[in-house]
Amino acid sequence: MYTLSNSPRDPAAPARRPYLSAERRRLQLLEGAAQLVARDGLDNLSMTGLARHAGVSRQLVYEHFSDLPELVAALLRQTFGEPDQNIADVLTAGGASPRDAALVAARVALSRPVHERRLLRSLLVSGATPGHPLAPLASQFRERSIARWSAVLGAEREPSRALIWALVNGVLALGELVDAGELTLEQALTEAQMLIGRAVGAAPS
């Protein structure tokens, strides 16, 4: 005859995973992915590593994200959704000159937390490698950035795609110098203002 046991739980047994709704579990996984990227870099993020970090099975991770690019895309949307919209609002708002609007957008970008800018730089570096699984995401970011900055700066003189992309990368590079303590935010903005002026000034008449 079987009876219920009142013996204490084996401490060596794996802990039960607390129940979370699908939405909260997805958020937990994204938070875990952000922690791993901040600690180890985007190139070291993996579905297996995230499962281990979050204390869940790989199958559960794949139930929420079909592959690594989908996970990173969701992480980017969560991390940059609000600041990305803020920059878009600044670039499309009326009442300011194109150069002034671009400078305000640069301030928004340079004022974001360090780990956010590093995530973006990691994406661009990884995505520059032919055949890399994150290359399509990096390409999407590039095209969106070029379209947004071209829309506002083109109100004066239409810069080339190359100049716009150089400007975006220049702002990101200034952020790295701010993070390293080589520039203050205001010094970086002064440099950004010169980059913006050159991008517009170098555009064909």
Instruction: List pLDDT tens digits, range 30-80.
Output: 999 999 998 888 888 999 999 999 999 999 999 999 999 999 999 988 887
Rounded to 5°, angle at Cα 138 from 197 and 35:
105
pTM, two decimals, is: 0.73
Helix (H) or strand (E) holding 174: helix 161-179
List, in order of start, the domains of the chain with CATH numbers: 20-66 (1.10.10.60), 80-201 (1.10.357.10)
Question: Residue 5 has which token pair?
Answer: 């046991």
Instruction: List pLDDT tens digits, range 18-29.
Output: 667 888 999 999
For residue 164, name the pLDDT band (cuts at 50, 70, 90): confident
Note whether 200 and 193 are within 8 A (CB).
Answer: no
For residue 129, name the pLDDT band (cuts at 50, 70, 90): confident
| 110 pLDDT higher than 60 | yes
Nearby residues of 35 by Cβ (< 8 Å), 6 or more positions away = 53
Nearby residues of 22 by Cβ (< 8 Å), 6 or more positions away = 64
How high does pLDDT run on average in the chain?
81
Distance (Å, rounded) from C-alpha 37 to C-alpha 197? 34
- Report H helices in 19-134: 22-40, 47-54, 58-64, 68-92, 98-110, 114-127
Neighbours of 76 (CB within 10 A): 18
